[in-house]
Amino acid sequence: MQKSLLFFTLIYLFCSIVLGELASEDVPVVTNTTETITVEETKENIVTNDEEQGVTNATKSEVCPQSTSPFSERTLVLLKPEVTHRALIGEVISQIERKGFKIVAMKFLVASAQQIEAHYSDHAGKPFFESLVARTTNQPIVAMVLEGLSAISEFRRLMGSTDPKKSDIGTLRAQFGMQTERNLIHASDSLENANLEIFLWFSPDEIYTYERAVDKFVYFG
């Protein structure tokens, strides 16, 4: 009996000591460990769509439509209504870009008679002027500003002659045109006219300067 009492007494003392030590230990506190991320850090971690596509440092153009780079002359190009109605917009733009031209401004619009008359004002009074205005007015067209080395002359070479039947094989007009009256495309024919025509269709803040990843493979040096 005394042995049993002693045994239980020892167990009681042991449990008291253990429980006392546990009670004296610090209980770990669970806290919110979420880090605070600043706006600046967030911006550093963001990769924009333009950067993913190799287009960086896009800025609005200066007042002058012509770039200061010798590799970046600018020209105005209009894809006429027949390009839209024949579903050739994508094909034509694809060939323009494959050549190496950079599109720095583009819009799809329905041109008014006033816009067309102003654009072709140098042809006013000629026998074909009224017909030209009539078949282009109130029709969907694409206006673009292209940039590239000798862009004015090089695009006109890609475009082809006024009469598609006389255009060199491989030019846009030779590929897709059959008549002078439906020759698909207009392009500036001089630096002076390019400057005038660009600002007729685009405001300065619609023209952009940017770098493409492919440019170093279009031009050497």
Tell me if 80 sits within 8 A of 141, measured CB to CB: yes
| Residues with catalytic roles | 186
Residue 200: closest CA among 125, 105, 130: 105
Amino acid at position 171, single letter: T
184/168 Cα distance (integer angstroms): 15
* Secondary structure letter of residue 73 according to DSSP: E
Reduced to 3 states (helix: H, G, I; strand: E, B; else coil), residue 83 is helix
Q: What residues are designated binding site?
A: 80, 128, 156, 162, 173, 183
The residue among 148, 143, 122, 121 whose CA lies nearest residue 66 is 148
**Which residues are annotated binding-site positions for ATP?**
80, 128, 156, 162, 173, 183
Judge residue 31's burial from the number of C-beta atoms within 10 Å of its C-beta, 0-12 exposed, 13-18 middle, 19 or more buried. Answer: exposed
Rounded Cα gap, residues 14 and 12, in angstroms? 5
